[in-house]
Amino acid sequence: MSASHGMGGPGTIEALIQLLAKVPGLGPRSARRAALHLLKRRESLMEPLARALKDTAQSVKTCSICHNIDMTDPCHVCTDPKRDRSQICVVEEVGDLWAMDRVVGFRGLYHVLGGTLSALDGIGPEDLNVGQLVERAKNPEVKEVILATNATVDGQTTAHYIAERLSNTGVTVSALAHGVPVGGELDYLDEGTLFAALKARKPV
């Protein structure tokens, strides 16, 4: 789309489409459709979205306690008086925190690691928010740390490392159960999951 809306310089429709195409969920084709949709709804959607992006970008903060992303520091979770402060759920990324909080409804506290240990990518313990987690776990209020890293090799390696680091703090360390996803059919499952589910079988 060269001639019909400029050469893609700043402030052109083409430049907007190229930025929209970097938003996950939108490819080059849907970015074009999105741009057109927005251009037709300038007052009702495009300008409010521009303002919301600008305002949020300017005032968003990383929580200095749990590393959640929020508009305040400490974040709403860490300052919420209704939360169970005896449990800290450890997750890899902020998105995992949001999922645990919104989907699962876990109402304890959280700690975002900011990734996983990865020999391949050269990510060591000093690159993750582990030291701070250990400090938090030493607070006598805290009784349990729940490791909710991903069920990947790196996620599980990280969980084991953290469990070890927490071993002399006196808190109970637990991890998410592995097993058959609820509603999952056995013959569609990978053998790793099936093996884990068998190993963790329970009396009925």
- CA 52 centroid distance within chain: 21
| E strand segments, 32-167 | 61-62, 69-70, 87-91, 109-112, 144-147
| Three-state secondary structure call for residue 87 | strand
Task: Pick the closer one to its own copies by CB: 59 or 139.
Answer: 59
Kindly state the smallest distance separating residue 164's Cβ from its own copies, in Å: 29
**92 part of the interface to its own copies, by CB under 8 A:** no
**52 part of the interface to its own copies, by CB under 8 A:** yes
**102 part of the interface to its own copies, by CB under 8 A:** yes
Kindly state the smallest distance separating residue 108's Cβ from its own copies, in Å: 12
Residue 173: enclosing H or E segment and its boundaries?
A: strand 172-175
Task: Pick the closer one to its own copies by CB: 55 or 164.
Answer: 55
Name the burial class of residue 168, with classes exposed (0-12), middle (13-18) and buried (19+) by CB atoms within 10 angstroms of its CB: exposed
Tokens of 167: 């071993």
Kindly state the smallest distance separating residue 41's Cβ from its own copies, in Å: 8
Tokens of 109: 């506290």
Task: Pick the closer one to its own copies by CB: 57 or 186.
Answer: 57
Give the Cα separation of 189 and 110 in Å (integer): 30
- CA 125 centroid distance within chain: 18
Kindly state the smallest distance separating residue 87's Cβ from its own copies, in Å: 15
* Side-chain-facing half-sphere of 194: CA atoms under 13 Å: 8
Write the interaction track for its own copies spanning residues 149-168; mark x where CB under 8 A is met and - where it is not.
Answer: --------------------
**95 part of the interface to its own copies, by CB under 8 A:** yes
Place of tokens 């969920």: 25
Pairing type for strands 61-62 and 69-70 reads antiparallel
Can you say whether the dihedral through the CA atoms of 44, 47, 50, 52 is positive or negative? negative
Which residue of 8, 64, 67, 68 would you call a contact of its own copies, by CB under 8 A? 68
Task: Pick the closer one to its own copies by CB: 23 or 200.
Answer: 23
Given the rule CB under 8 A, which of 22-30, 121-129, 135-143, 194-202 is the region that contacts its own copies? 22-30
Kindly state the smallest distance separating residue 15's Cβ from its own copies, in Å: 6
Query: Can you give the binding site for its own copies, defined by CB under 8 A?
Result: 1, 3-6, 10-13, 15-16, 19-20, 22-26, 30-34, 36-40, 42, 45-57, 59-60, 68-71, 75-77, 80, 82-83, 94-95, 97-98, 101-102
